[in-house]
């Protein structure tokens, strides 16, 4: 059954840092309030564009965010459908991780968590675990132009490091977060970098290689430092992207005071 309407008023730049973020929050609230139910199909892109007065790019970016949060699934040629809610075993709800600010907060959590995971992984990893990590790294490097596959490889890389700690709770927390641990799953790669998308991905890939090299050498301190550098850089890239989004929204509001 396809949903016919979306409860809530059209978006306003004044109420949101970006139109796509506002659309994500709006649809998320409708899912939480059972306006949209699991299994139902979202209205078409054109219908959402008309209802909210936004561009196709805004709609597609919002849908991408909702996919990363595990709220919807797009079936090519058919449409986008609401998914069953995923219960969190650790009290961290993917559905609550909506805004760029939320992702920044998750990155702060990951910095404290994953730097120690990298230290432990370098100390405890087995040859079999190292081989799996090498495969995941290779997937990241070879699939960098294919967003979904690259994100999935990135998630697997971090989960494998958690597994190499020998402590299942590291794995539980990262598994609970799913693809929300990867900033580019929530924000277009190009928006995270002032240069080209490829230059941004290259920087991230070099950071992954540094982490892998330290774990390969069984150098805990270097692994910890490489992971901290990677996640701190991710946080800074995302923070700068958020600032640019806010500036663009403010500029758009100034140019269209009646919006």
- The per-residue pLDDT for 92 is 56
Residue 138 within any structural domain of the chain: yes
> Taking Cα atoms as reference points, which of 156, 113, 149, 140 lies closest to residue 210?
140
Nearest CA-CA partner of 234 in 206, 256, 196: 206
- Express each pLDDT in 207-231 by its tens digit: 999 999 999 999 999 999 999 999 9
Query: Residues with Cβ < 8 Å from 22, sequence gap 6 or more?
Result: 11, 12, 13, 15, 16
* Helix or strand (DSSP H, E) at 5: none
11 backbone dihedrals φ, ψ, rounded to 5°: -75, 150
Of 30, 50, 82, the one marking the end of a domain is: 82
Instruction: Name the pLDDT band for 148 (thresholds 50, 70, 90).
Output: low
| SS3 call for 145 | coil
- Whether 181 maps to a domain, the answer reads yes
pTM score, two decimals?
0.60
**CATH number of the domain where residue 68 is located:** 1.10.10.10
Q: Give the whole-angstrom CA distance, residue 27 versus residue 4.
A: 13
Rounded Cα distance between 243 and 259, Å, is 21
Predicted confidence band of residue 62 (pLDDT cuts 50, 70, 90): confident
Domain identity same for 78 and 99: no
């Amino acid at each position: 059954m396809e949903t016919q309407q979306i409860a809530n008023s059209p978006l306003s730049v004044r109420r949101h840092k970006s139109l796509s973020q506002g659309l994500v929050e709006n649809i998320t609230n409708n899912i939480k309030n059972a306006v949209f139910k699991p299994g139902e199909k979202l209205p078409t892109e054109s219908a959402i564009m008309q209802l909210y007065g936004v561009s196709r790019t805004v709609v597609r970016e919002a849908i991408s965010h909702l996919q990363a949060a595990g709220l919807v699934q797009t079936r090519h040629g058919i449409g986008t459908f609401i998914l069953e809610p995923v219960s969190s075993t650790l009290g961290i709800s993917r559905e609550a991780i909506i805004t760029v600010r939320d992702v920044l907060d998750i990155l702060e959590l990951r910095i404290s968590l994953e730097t120690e995971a990298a230290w432990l992984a370098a100390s405890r990893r087995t040859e079999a675990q190292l081989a799996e990590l090498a495969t995941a790294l290779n997937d990241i490097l070879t699939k960098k132009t294919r967003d979904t596959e690259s994100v999935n490889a990135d998630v697997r890389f971090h989960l494998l490091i958690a597994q190499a700690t020998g402590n299942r709770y590291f794995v539980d927390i990262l598994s609970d977060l799913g693809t929300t641990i990867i900033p580019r799953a929530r924000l277009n790669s190009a928006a995270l970098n002032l240069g080209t998308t490829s230059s941004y991905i290259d920087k991230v890939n070099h950071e992954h290689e540094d982490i892998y090299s330290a774990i390969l050498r069984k150098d805990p301190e270097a692994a910890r430092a490489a992971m901290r550098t990677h996640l701190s850089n991710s946080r800074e890239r995302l923070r700068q992207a958020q600032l640019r989004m806010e500036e663009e929204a403010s500029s758009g509001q100034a140019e269209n005071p009646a919006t």
